[in-house]
Amino acid sequence: MAKKRNLILTVILLAGLFGLAWYINFETDSYLRRIVNLCMVYAIIGLSMNLTNGFTGQFSLGQAGFMAIGAYAVGIFTVPVSLRPSVFYAAPMHPAIADIHMPLWLALIVGGLCAALVAFLIGAPVLRLRGDYLAVATLGFSEIIRIVITNAQTITNGALGIKDIPPLNDVRYIFAFTAAVFIFITALINTSYGRAFKAIREDEIAAEAMGIDLFKHKSLAFMLSAFFAGIGGGLYAALLGTVDPKNFLFTLTYNFLLIIVLGGMGSITGSMIGSILVTAGLEFLRIFDEPLELFGVAIPLFRPGFRMVIFSVLLMALVLFWRRGIMGTREFTWDKTIAFCKNPFGIFGRKGVDKA
Amino acid sequence: MEFFEAFVNMSGGSFAQHMVNGISLGSLYAMIAIGYTMVYGILLMINFAHGDIVMMACYFTFFGISVFHIPWYLTFILVIITTALLGVVIERAAYRPLRDAPKNSVLISAIGASFLLENLANYLFSGRPLRFPNIEVLSQNLSLGSVQIQAISLFIPVVTIVCLMILLHIVNNTKIGMSMRAVSKDYEIARVMGINIDNVISITFAIGSALAAIGAIMWGIRYPGITPMLGVMPGLKCFIAAVIGGVGNIKGAVLGGFILGLGEIIIVAFFPQLSGYRDAFAFIVLIVILFYKPTGLLGEKTTEKV
Amino acid sequence: MTILRTDGIMMRFGGVVAVSNLQIKIEEHEIVALIGPNGAGKTTAFNMITGIYTPTEGNVLYTDEHGREVKITGKKPSDIAKLGIARTFQNIRLFKELSVYENVMIAKHLHLKADFFSAALHLPHYKAEQVKAEVEVEKLLKSVNLWELREEKAFSLPYGQQRHLEIVRALATNPRLLLLDEPAAGMNPKETEELTAFIRKIREQYQLTIFMIEHHMELVMDISDRIYVLDFGETIASGTPQAIQDNERVISAYLGVEEDA
């Protein structure tokens, strides 16, 4: 009964959001559309990172590298064949791929699969490493992916990057992908596999003694994470209309780290909230990069670079003072929301019961 | 084959030059790796900001010599002191409050500290590369027969050996060194035995950062472009050097530093077509060594208590 | 039929020999206890059997449900669990932040046949497996009166209930051999008595063989069919509870220090 009600409510919410996406797509200016699109893409990547870091407890910092793979798949396969000679002007594209053209959705999936394949290959040695070694190794691999892309001139156009990617700014299209990723990850986390991931996060030795194959499950989480990061990276490329190895410096990963820490490591709805706040927040912080004059007096602190200083201070302050983030490992659920609406002060009285 | 050809075509002189370069790069890595290994040995955490401490020390030197015109030797001393203080401040602000927090939180805080230093440098000193001050005595070229070698390349290994000897003396023969070893062996017992953990940790950060400052000065003379991201790659590589040598082991860090430094120069010298992948080398070595020897080359075998 | 046998396994950590030449033989449906002073190497022996450590020397042999004897030395702990050996831990290793219910459901994962994709899509064959698991977990939790507390986080349970939860979590893997590492540690006499009854009950109900490490002598003497005694990594005695109680070496090595405990 309650299950059916929750399902109906979820469907209504998604339909409402889709309607909102429709409205934003046709009735608002391009600046707002861009921010909304970026929010959704960041949400996909935040969710993907949460799968390894939050749910499986494996601290990976490779998201920028997997994004780059997805982004380049879109760059390589969606640029119209006729425009390619002008894009690849320094060295022509490798003949094996020069004539392959794909629609965006297919390029996204190809990119996701390539990222997952790379994650599978990297995972074999890397996932055996202890927590913080894993962080360094994945960060290193994300840089290696970037180095390889920079050097593979005839495939990726090297340091010049790929321009003329057919731009994507349809809010509905990105919304559909975001919703699909959200639904899939939510569904997966609530299965036996999701519980196995969480068991590994809580206690590897106990999980193993209960028959959970550590490597297999870590590898699965890592590959899924890479797959979705690849898709997110592909959408990101389509959103920008161009890709360049410099877009995928490992510092890009820190954006998603902030998202999952702010939202709560191990909370899907937390990642969604985190991505909205971080993306919108980064836009808002842009005012700190502009010289500011009040009553004819220049305020000295405001100049380029101040935004990122604030960003990094926020990241640190968050871990130092508010480690669990907004949601912790909890989720937004209809049951709790309805209980809250019926009795807004009830939540103070008893402990929250988590059941998604 | 290409390796063989490159090797045959190489004159004895340029071979010697490559070796000197490799040894001096290895020494630089070793200096920085020691800071990682000492902190890891005691706190079991990666001080992600260590590479950025190197970067900051480069900027300090730039300001000392090029902006305030302090004589270079005085600047060096001031830079070493300031950088040591910076290391202590970072530990107080970013790591100490999280001493009992889950390891991932500390890691995130360390990443935050690193990112903050980079962004702060970018904001304060602008992202444009600055030129490290030219110190004639150290950067001049010496001719040894047919070989042209920068004086600093010969100087670096000497400084490294001297610093290493002083450090080993401190760790093995002084009271503070004994406390450091005790804390890294067993944190809780050391605390119970009345060792002031906070002091030991502060001193560890001070020593590690001071060595980073010395490394930074030599790095700057050798590679004179200073940017806010300067410390990132050396930082990662030096952490890797510490890990492959056996984290917590000072000699291991030095060994790891030399392996990486020599390895990189060999790649650039003998496999020029692979030189674009030079930065990938360290990560591949890391994976290979950890695969066969998870505690590093000189690390002790440990088994998790169940 | 012998279910578990070790042919002189040995474990060395650096220069320290934690267990040497351990010869254990456990028959099906027996309750066997492993006793000995602290540091005698009992938990190390468990860790070798369950694959957490690989013995420096010797092999662990296990007879599976088809009556075949397989060497399990060097196998992954997860594979050993799949073969039917489950365990609890001396210092309770529950999944602390997860609910009581999730803790036990996790132990059902090892027999899941559906792949992650059909699971995420909730395809019928996955759902059928889950419903079956849910029924079994409900039964297990009710047997230890934890069903009402199923939504509580594991760490919030009182100590005794955490011990019981850990045992039913191990039972959820459908083991044939259950290893209990000090199940009665920290329990008062009444709780210990309940535990004794519980262990007997599950042995009958699930046709289990039980191998346990325990310090409570009343419990050990009351429940065990046979006992092995370890001291400084060596097996100093083995036999029925009566024989152990009368053994001079055991008395001097182990029972003699009981007043210190």
Which member of C13, C14, C52 has the closest CB to residue B306?
C52
Q: Give the rounded percent of residues in chain A with a pLDDT score beyond 90.
A: 56
DSSP state of B274: G
Are residues C127 and C80 part of one domain? Answer: no
- Which residues make Cβ contacts (< 8 Å) with residue B10, sequence separation at least 6? B18, B269
Mind telling me how many Å the CA of A143 is from chain C's nearest CA?
Answer: 30
Q: Do A137 and B283 touch (CB under 8 A)?
A: yes
Residue C179 is part of a domain; what is its CATH number?
A: 3.40.50.300
Identify whether residues C149 and C185 lie together within a single domain. no
Taking CB atoms within 8 Å and a gap of at least 24, the contacts of A29-35 are A30/A169, A33/A169, A33/A171, A34/A169, A34/A239, A35/A279, A35/A280, A35/A283
Return the percentage of chain B with pLDDT > 70, whole number. 93
User: Could you read off the pLDDT of B7-63 as tens digits, one per residue?
Assistant: 555 666 678 888 888 999 999 999 999 989 998 888 888 899 999 999 999 999 999
Span A216-253, pLDDT tens digits: 999 999 999 999 999 999 999 999 999 999 999 988 99
Residues of chain C contacting residue B300, judged by C-beta atoms under 8 Å apart: 14
Domain boundary among C158, C189, C212: C158
Least CB-CB distance to B116: which of A132, A257, A313? A313
Nearest to C106 among A196, A205, A355 (CB): A196
- Please give the residue of chain B at the shortest CA–CA distance from A264: B105
CA A242 to chain centre: 19
**SS3 assignment, position B268:** helix
In a domain, A329, yes or no: no
Question: Phi and psi at residue C71, in whole multiples of 5°?
Answer: -80, 125
DSSP character at residue B298: S
Q: Give the pLDDT score at C251.
A: 79
pLDDT at B238 over 90: yes
Taking a contact as any Cβ pair under 8 Å apart, which residues of chain B between 174 and 193 contact chain C? none
CA–CA min distance A44, chain B (Å): 21
C47 has a chain B CB within 8 A of its CB:
yes
* Closest residue of chain B to A153, computed from CA coordinates: B276
pLDDT at position C233 is 85
Determine the residue among B43, B100, B104 to mutate to test chain A binding: the one whose Cβ has the most chain A Cβ atoms within 10 Å.
Answer: B104
B306/C89 Cβ within 8 A: yes
Give the closest of C13, C14, C47 to B306, CB-based: C47
- Domain ranges, residue C137: 94-158
**8 Å CB contact between A111 and A231:** yes
- The verdict on residue A304 lying in a domain is no
- For residue C27, the model assigns a pLDDT of 94
Asked whether the predicted pLDDT for residue B306 surpasses 70, the reply is: no
Using the Cβ of B113 and the Cβ atoms of chain A, whether some distance falls under 8 Å is answered with: yes
pLDDT of A302 strictly over 60: yes
Q: Which residues of A touch B39 (CB under 8 A)?
A: none
Looking at the structure of chain A, the number of domains it has is 1
pTM exceeding 0.80: yes
Q: Nearest by CB to B306, which of A129, A137, A205? A: A205
Give the domain ranges of chain B: 2-129+140-292
C50 at interface of B, judged by CB pairs closer than 8 A: no
Q: Does B102 touch chain C if contact means CB atoms closer than 8 Å?
A: no
Inter-chain contact A187–C121, Cβ cutoff 8 Å? yes
- Which among B23, B12, B40 is positioned nearest to B264, based on CA atoms? B23
Residue A337 falls within a domain, yes or no?
no
Asked if residue A296 is part of any domain, the answer here is no
**What are the backbone angles phi and psi of residue C112, rounded to the nearest 5°?**
-65, 130
* CB-based contact A207 C76, cutoff 8 Å: no
Q: Model confidence over B138-181: pLDDT tens digits?
A: 878 888 777 778 888 888 999 999 999 999 999 999 998 889 88
Domain extent at residue A217:
2-250
Using the beta-carbon criterion (under 8 Å), do B283 and A132 form an inter-chain contact? no
Contact C98 A202 (CB under 8 A): yes
| Structural domain contains residue A219 | yes
HSE of A1 in the Cβ direction (CA atoms, 13 Å)?
0
Could you give the 3-state DSSP secondary structure of residue B30?
helix
Q: Are B127 and B59 in contact (CB under 8 A)?
A: no
The fold for domain B2-129+140-292 equals ABC transporter involved in vitamin B12 uptake, BtuC (1.10.3470)
pLDDT of residue C14: 79
Is there a contact between B107 and A205 if contact means CB atoms under 8 Å apart? no
Chain C residue whose CA is closest to A196? C106
Range 93-112 of B in CB contact (< 8 A) with A: 94, 97-98, 101-105, 107-109, 111-112
C119 vs A192: CB contact, 8 Å cut-off? Answer: yes
Residue A354 has pLDDT above 60, yes or no: no
pLDDT at residue number C126 = 95
Sign of the dihedral defined by the CA atoms of residues B37, B39, B43, B47, in that order? negative
Give the pLDDT of residue C178.
Answer: 97
Highest mean pLDDT of the ranges A70-74, A98-102, B2-6, C252-256: A70-74
A138-156 pLDDT, tens digit each = 988 998 899 899 988 899 9
Residue B267 in contact with partner chain A when CB distance is under 8 A: no
Which of B302, B303, B304, B305 best probes binding to C when mutated, by most C CB atoms within 10 angstroms? B303
* DSSP letters spanning chain C: -EEEEEEEEEEEETTEEEEEEEEEEEETT-EEEEE-STTSSHHHHHHHHTTSS--SB--EEEE-TTS-EEE-TT--HHHHHHHTEEE--TT----TTSBHHHHHHHTTGGG--S-HHHHHTT-HHHHHHHHHHHHHHHHHHHHTT-GGGTTSBGGGS-HHHHHHHHHHHHHTT--SEEEEESTTTT--HHHHHHHHHHHHHHHHHHT-EEEEE---HHHHHHH-SEEEEEETTEEEEEE-HHHHHH-HHHHHHTGGGGGG-
Asked if the Cβ–Cβ distance from A354 to C151 is below 8 Å, we say: yes
Q: Mean pLDDT throughout A344-349?
A: 57
How far separated are the first and last CA of chain B, in Å rounded? 51
Candidates A303, A312, A314, partner chain B, best to mutate (most B CBs within 10 A): A312
3-state secondary structure of B296: coil
B277/A147 CB distance under 8 A:
yes
Within-domain flag for C37: yes
pLDDT recorded at residue C225: 95
Interface of B with A in 182-241 (CB under 8 A): 236, 239-240
Q: Does B291 touch chain A (CB under 8 A)?
A: yes
Q: Could you tell me if C179 lies within 8 Å of chain B, comparing CB atoms?
A: no
Interface residue C192 vs chain B (CB under 8 A) = no
Positions of chain C with pLDDT lower than 70, given as ranges: 254-261
* A140 within some domain: yes
**Residue A206 domain-assigned (yes or no):** yes
Residue C167 lies in a domain: no
Q: Do B116 and A309 touch (CB under 8 A)?
A: yes
Q: Which residue has the tokens 């084959």?
A: B1
Q: Would you state the pLDDT for residue B227?
A: 93
State whether C73 and C140 are in the same domain.
no
Mean pLDDT of B109-126: 92
A329: chain B residues, CB-CB within 8 Å: none
Instruction: Identify the weakest region by mean pLDDT among A301-315, A333-347, C239-253.
Output: A333-347
Can you tell me whether residue B143 is helix, strand or coil? strand
Q: Are residues C70 and C185 in the same domain?
A: yes
From the list C52, C97, C119, which residue is nearest A193 (CB)?
A: C119
Q: Does A193 sit within 8 Å of C78, measured CB to CB? A: no
> Is C43 close to B301, i.e. CB distance below 8 A?
no
| C61 vs B: CB within 8 A | no
Q: Decide the pairing of beta strands C226-231 and C31-35.
A: parallel
Decide: B81 and B61 in contact? Cβ < 8 Å.
no
List CB contacts of C248: < 8 A, sequence separation 6 or more.
none
The shortest CB-CB distance from B303 to any of C13, C43, C89 is to C13
- Phi first, then psi, for residue B81 (nearest 5°) are -65, -45
8 Å CB contact between A346 and A340 = yes
Residue pLDDT, tens place only, A93-140 = 888 888 899 999 999 999 999 999 999 999 988 888 877 788 888 988
Of A195, A214, A353, the CB nearest to C78: A214
Torsion sign, CA atoms C27, C28, C30, C34: positive
Residue A29 sits at the chain B interface (C-beta within 8 Å): no
Residues of C whose CB is below 8 A from A56: none
The domain total for chain C is 2
Q: Is residue A350 scored above 50 in pLDDT? A: no
Contact (CB<8Å) A319/B112: yes
CATH number of the domain enclosing A8: 1.10.3470
Residue A268 lies in a domain: no
pLDDT confidence of residue B305: 53
